[in-house]
Amino acid sequence: MAQAIERVATVRPVSEEEATGRVAEIFADIKRTKGLERVPNFWRVLATHPEHLDMIWSRLKTLMHPDAVGRQSPLDARTREIIALAVSAANGCTYCINSHTTALRKLGVDTETLGEILAIVALFCTTNALADAYQVQPDVLPPLD
């Protein structure tokens, strides 16, 4: 009765071997910046539209790898990855949950801490739903700087 699902990229990912020009440069930059031996599937799929690959990678590099662009971030690497996982979990994105869980483990986050992060994510999915469902009005807010 149960059948294996088939899930495919809707485009054929660009392999590292066939990449040339700007795509090849970005592939090299991704591996160097992230310390990876292979280019993740996400970037290989985006490479079917090189200009878009460039836009997304440069933005992600700036925000998630500030050192690589000589920039100071007010957030440390672990906090940045925790935000990435929290958003991916709230949005239910399988690929990104896998990817950022892996990144957090590389940063030394253990199963208990992962559980604590996801417990807080799940708690606020509940309170978000309740605040919306009851249409709770904002409390008085502090002045803005």
In the complex, what is the shortest distance from the CB of residue 49 to a second copy, in angstroms, rounded to a whole number?
A: 3
In the complex, what is the shortest distance from the CB of residue 144 to a second copy, in angstroms, rounded to a whole number?
A: 4
Binding flag, residue 114, a second copy (CB under 8 A): yes
Distance, in Å, from the CA atom of 81 to the CA atom of 70, rounded to the nearest integer, reads: 19
CA 74 to chain centre: 18
State the amino acid at position 1 in one-letter form.
M
* Cβ neighbours around 27 below 10 Å, total: 22
Instruction: Identify the residue among 5, 17, 21, 35 touching a second copy (CB under 8 A).
Output: 5
Distance, in Å, from the CA atom of 33 to the CA atom of 65, rounded to the nearest integer, reads: 7
Q: Among 16-24, 25-33, 126-134, which window interacts with a second copy (CB under 8 A)?
A: 126-134
Each residue 54-93 as x (binds a second copy by CB under 8 A) or -, in order, gives -xx--xx-xxx------x-xxx---xx-xxx-xxxxxxxx
- Judged by DSSP in three states, 112 sits in helix
Instruction: Identify the residue among 52, 67, 68, 107 touching a second copy (CB under 8 A).
Output: 52
Instruction: Identify the residue among 28, 68, 107, 129 touching a second copy (CB under 8 A).
Output: 129
Distance, in Å, from the CA atom of 104 to the CA atom of 85, rounded to the nearest integer, reads: 9
Tokens for 79?
A: 């906090």
In the complex, what is the shortest distance from the CB of residue 25 to a second copy, in angstroms, rounded to a whole number?
A: 19
In the complex, what is the shortest distance from the CB of residue 104 to a second copy, in angstroms, rounded to a whole number?
A: 9
- Judged by DSSP in three states, 22 sits in helix
